[in-house]
Homo-oligomer: A and B are copies of this chain.
Amino acid sequence: MVTTTTAASVDLAAARFFRVLGDPTRVAILQLLMQRPHSVSELVEATGARQSRVSTHLACLRWCEFVTTERAGRKVIYSITDPEVGEVLRRGMELAQARLDHLVACERIGPEWA
């Protein structure tokens, strides 16, 4: 069957999908955008991250089409593209909160867990 190649591709795509959500700064950004559209400077202000960092993360989210942009004068306004993605994020955050202690304690994904 033709789906043989696809099976691995789907795993790969899924992994990339979740990896995009696997950064605290991007989580914070997406959370803010779920409330309402924000300009870059607002996101910098709200997250406390450097401007270059925020822009890079936004480029990542833009590329993956998690967010869309719109120019407004000197500012660029970012919005969530698909509410579905936000929904998965929300569900994940709930589950993460339940396991908060474990996950935060899990410093590394490689060796060196207790």
Chain A residues within CB distance 8 Å of chain B: 8-24, 26-28, 31, 56, 59-60, 63-65, 82, 84-85, 87-89, 91-93, 95-97, 99-100, 102-104, 106, 109-111, 113
Known: A24-B15, A59-B113. A64 touches B10 (CB 8 A): no
20 A-B pairs, CB-CB below 8 angstroms?
Answer: A10-B93, A10-B100, A11-B24, A13-B96, A14-B21, A14-B89, A14-B97, A15-B22, A15-B27, A16-B22, A16-B96, A17-B93, A17-B99, A21-B22, A56-B110, A56-B111, A60-B113, A64-B102, A85-B95, A87-B91
Known: A64-B102, A91-B88. A17 touches B111 (CB 8 A): no
Contact of A24 among B8, B59, B92 (CB under 8 A): B8
Contact of A65 among B10, B27, B92, B99 (CB under 8 A): B99
Contact call A95/B100, Cβ cutoff below 8 A: no
Please name all residues of chain B whose beta carbon is closer than 8 Å to the beta carbon of A93 when the two chains form the complex: 10, 13-14, 17
